[in-house]
Amino acid sequence: MSLKVGDTIPEGSFKYIPYTSELEDSVTTALSTNEWKGKKVVLFSVPGAFTPTCHANHLPGYLQNYDAFKAKGVDVIAVVAANDAFVMSGWGRFEGVKDKILTLTDTDAKWSASLGLDKDLSAAGLGHRTWRFAIVIDDLVVKYIGVEPGPGVTVSGASEVLAKL
């Protein structure tokens, strides 16, 4: 892994579909990491939407602790995966995140690769994915990074990240 605490995150652009109560406006939008200048951001990454660990053990903790993150001054909570923007939007709708958590797509895990946080799961038929991690970013500078050493959710989970804020 090349990214570490104190580093400025590399510029990146993610596609996402902003939440609306109807799907009428389901047009992809681009979000640049530059938009996080001056903001405190909690970004967590999952290998895939709807996958068992991501769906049952990772995203729900962030949603359940939304108010606690906001109380600690977090401006943006975002989840990123290599799934397309429509899958990420659908997952967010299924989970009920509404506009609380941005569901971002890192196409081909390119931004995650620039961090050294991608993995090739082609042998399992899943293609190139993002690794499971969490980053606390304050004014584009990394304040915490938790990269999972193996399966499961520990250092990238909501309770661990909250403790680091």
pLDDT for the residue numbered 55? 65
pLDDT for the residue numbered 105? 94
List, run by run, the mean pLDDT of 10-residue segments along the chain (165 residues): 85 82 73 96 93 77 97 98 91 92 93 89 75 96 94 93 96
67 dihedral zone (left: phi>0; alpha: psi -120 to 50; beta): alpha
pLDDT for the residue numbered 128? 77
> Tokens for 100?
């609380």
Catalytic residue of the set 54, 115, 145, 158: 54
The pTM of this model reads 0.88
pLDDT for the residue numbered 124? 74
Could you tell me which CATH class the domain 13-164 is placed in? alpha beta
pLDDT for the residue numbered 152? 87
The structural domains of the chain, with segments of one domain joined by +, span: 13-164
- The reply to whether 26 belongs to the active site is no
β-pairing verdict for 128-130 and 118-120: antiparallel
